[in-house]
Structure formats: C-alpha cells, structure tokens
Homo-oligomer: A and B are copies of this chain.
Amino acid sequence: MLHFQITANDGAARTGELRVKAGVVHTPAFMPVGTLGTVKAMTPEELREVGAEIVLANTYHLHLRPGEQVVENLGGLHSFMHWEGPILTDSGGYQVFSLSALNTVEEQGVHFRSHLDGSALFLSPESAVGIQEALGSDIMMCLDHVLALPAQEADLEDAVARTGRWAKRCLEARRGAQALFGIVQGGTSQTLRHRSAEEICALGFDGHALGGLSVGEAPQQMYDTVAFTVPLLPPQRPRYLMGSGEPGDLLAAIACGVDMFDCVLPTRNARNGSLYTRHGKISIKQARYREDPAPLEESCPCPTCRNYSRAYLRHLYVSSEILSMRLNTYHNLYFFLDLMRQARGAIAAGRFAAFAADFLAAFNSGKVVA
C-alpha cells in the first residue's frame, strides 16, 4: 500500500522514495493543491512538466461538489481528473479551522453548514475515511481537530485527545488498501505535541503529519514546533508538514527531517500576481514592469520565462486575462518544484545546510520587492 525508502541522510534531512500504487514520489516532495480535483489553471500534463509527482485534493470540497459517489461512479479521482500519479486527500479537518464559523465539533464528528448553500453536512472519522475511499486517493488523512492559534491550553488538550480518539476510529474504519496517515496536534505546546506524537505513532499509521500549524502562530513558533516534534516521529515513515509553504518554511522543515508538503501559496499567489524569483517575490502589477522587456527570471527555463516579458505578464494581469493565471501558476509551481529538486540533490550530496543558507540569502536579499 505504501513503501518508503530513505536513500540519503544529511544531518536530520533526508531524501527518499515513496511508492504507492499510482507511482513513485521523490521526497522531499511538494504537493500542489487541487481542491476540487483540478490544480487551478493547470492541466495534469503541465503538472508533470513542472515536476509534480503527487497532488492533494480536498475531501470536504469534493464531498460537496461533485460528491464522492459521482467520482467513484466515474472510476475514481485519478480517472475523473485525468491525473494518473499519486493523490493525497485531506480529511476535512483543516476546514474545521478554516470554516470554523460554519461548523461545530462534537465527539461523534463535525457538523458543517455548506459554504456554498448553507445545507447541513456531517463529517465523522468514519465518513471522512469512507469519502476518501470512494474518491480512491493513494494516501488518506485522518480526521483531526484543528484549532486556530493562539488557543487556550485546555482547548488544545481537548483537541489533542479528540484527535487521538478519532485517529483510532479512522484506522478501524479503513476497509481497503489505501494508505492512511495519522496527524499530530498540540498547537505550539511541547507537552501536548509530545503527548499527541506518542499516541498517534503508537497506532501504526503509514505516515505521520504535523497538523495545526500555519494557523495563526508566528513563523518562529512554527519552526520551533516542527524542530521539536519531528524527532518524535518514527524515522522510517514519511513525515508530512500540512499547509506550510513559504520557501523558508519548506527548507527549515526539510532540515528537521520533513518529507512532504502542501500549500496553496504558489498557486494562489500566482493568481494574485505575486511571483517567486530567486531574489524574492515580485508583484507583477507594479508600474515599474510596464515596459520591462526582461523575463520574470532570467535564469528560469520555464515557458513563462522563456517566452514572455514582464511587461506582457503585467499587461495580462492588469487586464484580468486567463492566460495571466496560467503563466503565473506555471512559473510559481515550477519554482517550488525546482526548489524541491534542488533540495533533494543537495541532501544526496551532503550539502543541504549550505544550499539552504545560500538559497535563503538570495531569496531574502531584497533585490526585488514584493
């Protein structure tokens, strides 16, 4: 169902291969987010081109539209969205946080009102697994209880305990051969992260995730929590930091031994005209690019940079053209997936720390301003 082999270690960082039925994922890996069964503005062929080996899709959103039964009747999510590679589905736990105004958590599960039409829906550990099995993803996630930070210690304790009980129920609910990852909660509390990691890792999941981060805490608190928690997870299983995605976040977590990431930043920022370069982010709408004949990034081999000027990218953006979202998304995803490729190479060569330091020095140099 899931095989994970580490091929090189460099300090706590590691690179490896994660195999599921749909294919091989080289780690550290970044998963583009395909909320509704499409990574916004991209075709699956383009995802392959930029180097994506696995994509993430959202259980909550696909349950609402088009519904997992539709997807299952059409042969599962791979066939439905024409992406033959590995797919990880989240559980809806993140929407407990992001749509907190629209849900209430109780021991049995989470009552949502649909963000589309207000209709009632109920997500339990069992139904979250059932939906993911119907979708047919390669890696499923347990339903967890995610709180916004800062949170009261008592609330965090309660969420950690519930996440543990739900994790057991998810495991018991699984019927097929899809991999299932457990999620460690606990906010920024070392005590609670320790307790949650012990509890979750004892259950025998195929991999382990750090959840409940990038939900309001300061970056340094997130880094500290990752650095503290990762060593508590068994090294022979893949480790997944959920929802964090600035390049500095990825490199810091890789240094700690994290293997998998997902984030909407490259795709969402692209649609907002915020574009990643080696020397920082560019806001392409700025007037300074009005007649700029240079590519977005001189050294970038992606088609956006090979074929178009900053002036044209600005024109498309200020004109709200669809091609703007396409070209920007392509470039940003290329940037993130190339960063992962470089990180894997640096780990294999035993020079990850130097690579990360050099990358961040350039990225934070202020040579370009967002």
Instruction: Indicate if the CB atoms of B73 and A291 lie closer than 8 Å.
Output: yes
Kindly provide the distance from the CB of A278 to the nearest chain B CB, expressed in whole angstroms: 23
A81 within 8 A of B: yes
Kindly provide the distance from the CB of A119 to the nearest chain B CB, expressed in whole angstroms: 15
Copies in the complex: 2
| A41 contact set on B, CB distance < 8 A | 322-323, 326
Kindly provide the distance from the CB of A169 to the nearest chain B CB, expressed in whole angstroms: 30
Instruction: Indicate if the CB atoms of A40 and B82 lie closer than 8 Å.
Output: no
When A74-B312, A312-B80 are in contact, do A322 and B290 touch as well, CB less than 8 Å?
Answer: no
Instruction: Indicate if the CB atoms of B40 and A323 lie closer than 8 Å.
Output: yes
- A321 interface neighbour in B38, B82, B303, Cβ under 8 Å: B38
| A74 contact set on B, CB distance < 8 A | 291, 293, 309, 311-312
Kindly provide the distance from the CB of A18 to the nearest chain B CB, expressed in whole angstroms: 26
| A37 contact set on B, CB distance < 8 A | 312, 315
| A66 contact set on B, CB distance < 8 A | 290, 311, 314-315
Instruction: Indicate if the CB atoms of B311 and A70 lie closer than 8 Å.
Output: yes
Kindly provide the distance from the CB of A265 to the nearest chain B CB, expressed in whole angstroms: 17
A220 within 8 A of B: no
Instruction: Indicate if the CB atoms of A321 and B36 lie closer than 8 Å.
Output: yes
When A70-B290, A326-B326 are in contact, do A308 and B82 touch as well, CB less than 8 Å?
Answer: yes
Kindly provide the distance from the CB of A136 to the nearest chain B CB, expressed in whole angstroms: 14
A277 within 8 A of B: no
B-facing residues in A287-321 (Cβ within 8 Å): 290-291, 293, 303, 307-309, 311-312, 314-316, 318-319, 321
Residue in chain B with minimal CB distance to A42: B323
When A82-B307, A309-B80, A312-B80 are in contact, do A322 and B40 touch as well, CB less than 8 Å?
Answer: yes
A325 within 8 A of B: yes
Instruction: Indicate if the CB atoms of B326 and A36 lie closer than 8 Å.
Output: no
Instruction: Indicate if the CB atoms of A316 and B70 lie closer than 8 Å.
Output: no
CB-defined interface of A55-95 with B at 8 Å, one 1/0 digit per residue? Answer: 00000000001100010011100001110000000000000
- Bound-state Cα–Cα, A75 to B81, Å: 39
A43 within 8 A of B: yes
Kindly provide the distance from the CB of A255 to the nearest chain B CB, expressed in whole angstroms: 35
B-facing residues in A17-67 (Cβ within 8 Å): 36-38, 40-43, 65-66
7 smallest beta-carbon distances between A and B, as pairs: A41-B322, A66-B315, A82-B307, A38-B323, A36-B319, A38-B321, A74-B311
Q: List 26 A-B contacts (CB under 8 A).
A: A36-B315, A36-B316, A36-B319, A36-B321, A37-B312, A37-B315, A38-B316, A38-B321, A41-B322, A42-B323, A43-B326, A65-B315, A65-B318, A66-B290, A66-B311, A66-B315, A70-B311, A74-B291, A74-B293, A74-B309, A75-B293, A80-B311, A80-B315, A81-B312, A82-B307, A82-B312
Given contacts A43-B323, A70-B315, A80-B311, list 7 more A-B pairs with CB under 8 A.
Answer: A40-B322, A43-B303, A70-B291, A73-B291, A80-B309, A82-B307, A82-B308
